[in-house]
A and B are shown apart, each in its own frame.
Chain A
């Protein structure tokens, strides 16, 4: 079955601390992986994506993610969190075509304390 698991529902970090959000997936074919961020009452903004090639991908706002096929993981990281990073983060997996539907994880809510 195709699925995405984000084991952490809620994470709280201090501003300036490092961050890692976990994502594990199950997908029958070559996965295309995405991280999106959602601020309250807003749509989703694409942070980064992995299609192929270098397994460490850089995204916007200083985020990066590493694809580990052996662990079926695609964890999101940021070395130093800013208060403006507080939001909901969704990991998603899809097929090789952009027209394939995405399967989303349940999301991780990030809270940042000053």
Chain B
């Protein structure tokens, strides 16, 4: 149980395009989803917390207009990197929890490469 699916797993695109990453909880309802960014050989950096039906809460230093997060249902959250540039290249990981003290369960991540 507690499976989180993230799609796509790898995306390469040209500078200036927008990229959407999906995060789905397959077998539970995720009241809260989190989006992380991970640089090579480093830890996870929390970008934002999203609750279903509410606006996401962004961490300090994360551009909300650059990284658009939508959590329209209890099983789906999306992260859109708008007008992506090479410096946005990274590994993006989502996690989801049903709350009530349940731990976060992570997707397999999306490797984003901007040329």
Contact = CB atoms under 8 A, between A and B. Distances in A.
**A interface secondary structure, majority:** loop
Nearest to B38: A38
B11 to A, nearest CB: 14
A99 B43 contact: no
B106 A36 contact: yes
A10 to B, nearest CB: 10
Interface string B84-115: 00000001010101111111111111010000
B49 interface: yes
Contact of B102 (A43, A98, A104): A98
A90 B93 contact: no
How many chain B residues sit at the interface, stated as a range, is 20 to 34
Given A42-B108, A98-B103, A105 B43 contact: yes
B4 to A, nearest CB: 8
A43 B99 contact: no
B60 to A, nearest CB: 12
A98 B6 contact: no
Given A43-B6, A101-B34, A107 B109 contact: no
Lowest 10 A-B CB distances belong to which pairs? A43-B106, A98-B97, A44-B106, A99-B32, A98-B102, A43-B108, A106-B43, A43-B109, A104-B43, A98-B99
Q: Which of A46, A90, A109 neighbours the largest number of chain B CB atoms within 10 Å of its CB?
A: A46
